[in-house]
Amino acid sequence: MLKTLRPSLRALLIHLIALTLVLGYRFWLTDQNQAIPILFLACAEGLIATALGLLSKLRAWWIPINLLFFPLLYLASSYAISPLWTLSLFIIIWLLNWNAFSEQVPLYLSGNKTIEALAKHLEKKHAFTFADFGCGLASVLIKLAKHFPQAHFTGYETAPLPYLIAKIRSIGISNLDIKRQSFWKTQWNTYDIVYCFLSPAPMPKIESYAKNNMKSDAILISNTFLLPKKEAMQIININDLRATKLYIYRYK
């Protein structure tokens, strides 16, 4: 049952289950006239939530969230930190990862080695159009746009805070446009190259859209995540900590 839920709802249900178990254990100890430190209970909740998260196939980046959420919450309350700080941090994280809840696509950032590999792959091309679907902070686009002044780059980002940062960073770069628009609502056939670093969740839909909407001889480059059925024309291995792979697909 848990595996069929969206990751955010799955995590919420997991914490409710873990909290119920821990509170039940605490009430049982109270009946036995035994006391237990709250921090121990918070750590126990984190361990249970982490285990349930792994069993329900939540992705690896949920591990520190599930493990540390309640212990950090307890420590914050112990030091009388203003709730406004907690609220502000939550709002910032929410604005950065706006699409994690609706489309299961958190904010992933492409590293410098990945950008260098992209630039090397594009070296033989001249005047081309390039789109970054889910451009985040526009790190990829800014470096490529400066490296290829004869090409035109467009970034699509709907998360409010990354879009604002990307828009500000793109000021003064004439061959780069940042749009707060869903890439599902743009004309894919206007681009020679499409780059994306999303998550496994939208890849089947990406594959279907690319097949029906990309123009002849266009290239789709996916960072880390494979298309489920189409075979990659080329795979570029990046020598970084994540052992990143770039999957290159050509459409005819």
* 94 band by pLDDT with thresholds 50, 70 and 90: low
Mean pLDDT of 165-188: 94
Query: Whose structure tokens read 């178990």?
Result: 21
Q: Is residue 96 part of a domain?
A: no
Say what the alpha-carbon torsion angle 54, 56, 61, 66 is, to the nearest 10 degrees. Answer: -80
Does the pLDDT at position 57 exceed 80? no
Q: Which two tokens stand for residue 88?
A: 């502000």
Coil, strand or helix: which one is 234? strand
With bands split at pLDDT 50, 70 and 90, how would you rate the model's confidence at 107? low
Determine, yes or no, domain membership for 104. Answer: no
Could you tell me if 77 and 119 lie in one domain? no
Q: What residues make up the domain containing 138?
A: 112-250
pLDDT bin (cut points 50, 70, 90) of residue 30 is: confident
Who wins on pLDDT, 31 or 201?
Answer: 201
pLDDT band at 234 (very low <50, low <70, confident <90, very high): very high
105: in domain: no
Beta bridge partners of 132: 155, 195
Residue 102 counted as domain residue: no
19, 125: one domain = no
**Stronger pLDDT, 84 or 156, i.e. the higher one:** 156
Same domain for 155 and 216, yes or no, is yes
Q: Do 124 and 73 belong to one domain?
A: no
Residue at 100 is within a domain: no
Asked whether residue 40 is domain-assigned, the answer is yes
What is the DSSP track for 127-182?
A: S-EEEEET-TT-HHHHHHHHH-TTSEEEEE--SHHHHHHHHHHTTT-TTEEEE-S-
* 80 or 170, which is more confident: 170
- Is there a single domain that holds both residue 68 and residue 139? no
Q: Tell me, what CATH number does 174's domain have? A: 3.40.50.150
Residue-by-residue DSSP string for 38-105: HHHHHHHHHHHHHHHHHHTT--TTHHHHHHHHHHHHHHHHHTT--HHHHHHHHHHHHHHTHHHHHSS-
Shared-domain flag, residues 243 and 150? yes
CB atoms within 10 A of CB 70: 22
Q: What percent of the chain has pLDDT over 70?
A: 83
How many domains would you assign to the chain? Answer: 2
Per-residue pLDDT band for 220 (boundaries 50, 70, 90) equals very high
Contact 241, 216 (CB under 8 A): no
117 and 61 housed in the same domain: no
Q: What sign has the CA pseudo-torsion 245, 136, 165, 12?
A: negative
92 within domain boundaries:
no
* H or E element, residue 14: helix 7-31
Element (H, E) at 250: strand 245-250
Same domain flag for 77 and 120: no
What's the chain's Rg over C-alpha atoms? 22
pLDDT mean over 203-223: 92
Residues 76 and 118 reside in one and the same domain: no
- Give the phi and the psi of residue 37 in degrees, each rounded to 5: -60, 140
**Residues 69 and 133 occupy one common structural domain:** no
